[in-house]
Structure 1
Amino acid sequence: MVCFCFLVDQTRQVRRCKPAAGLCSRCGGGASVADMKTSTRFCHVPFYRKSWKAIMCTFCGAILKSYQ
């Protein structure tokens, strides 16, 4: 028996952010501390949600460091 399950989507959403000291190593933009939320859906059914903190660039949106 073979069972297939496909990853439909994974969304990353910024809930709150506030300015932080430092610069982005990729583009030189400012940094901010953000409360992030990741949601994963398999076959259109919500499967997994996770809340976490990250330091991200305000210009290019790169995640510089993440905290669990």
Structure 2
Amino acid sequence: MVFFCFLVDQRRTVRSSKPAAGICSRCGGCASVADMETATRVCYLLTVHRRTWRAIICTFCGAMLKSYRHYRLY
């Protein structure tokens, strides 16, 4: 029996954000620091991989200006 499984989607969601100093280089809007989460789903059913990270995004146009890993201390 052969079972094929394929990547369905990858969703990025903003968990929280706060204002940051600086402006967007593309549109001149305000920047904010956001905690992001990427969830990768396979075969429409289950989430295989979740990753949290932090990014600096524009609040006006939504452009991602910089992204970097975010390590939580528990």
TM exceeding 0.5 = yes
Letter paired with 1:53: R
What is the CA-CA distance between 1:5 and the residue it aligns to? Answer: 3.1
RMSD across aligned C-alpha pairs, in angstroms? 1.4
Letter paired with 1:67: Y
**Match for residue 11 of structure 1?**
11
Aligned pairs, how many?
Answer: 67
Please give the secondary structure, in 1, of the residue aligned with 2:25: coil
Structure 2: 5+ residue runs without aligned partners?
Answer: 70-74
**Match for residue 37 of structure 1?**
37
Among all aligned residue pairs of Structure 1 and Structure 2, give the percentage whose two residues are the same amino acid: 69
Distance, in Å, in 2 between the alignment partners of 1:60 and 1:4 is 38
Please identify which structure carries the higher strand content. 1
Distance, in Å, in 2 between the alignment partners of 1:10 and 1:50 is 11
What is the TM-score when the length of structure 1 is the normalising length?
A: 0.89
Please give the secondary structure, in 2, of the residue aligned with 1:54: strand
What is the TM-score when the length of structure 2 is the normalising length?
A: 0.82
Distance, in Å, in 2 between the alignment partners of 1:13 and 1:34 is 10
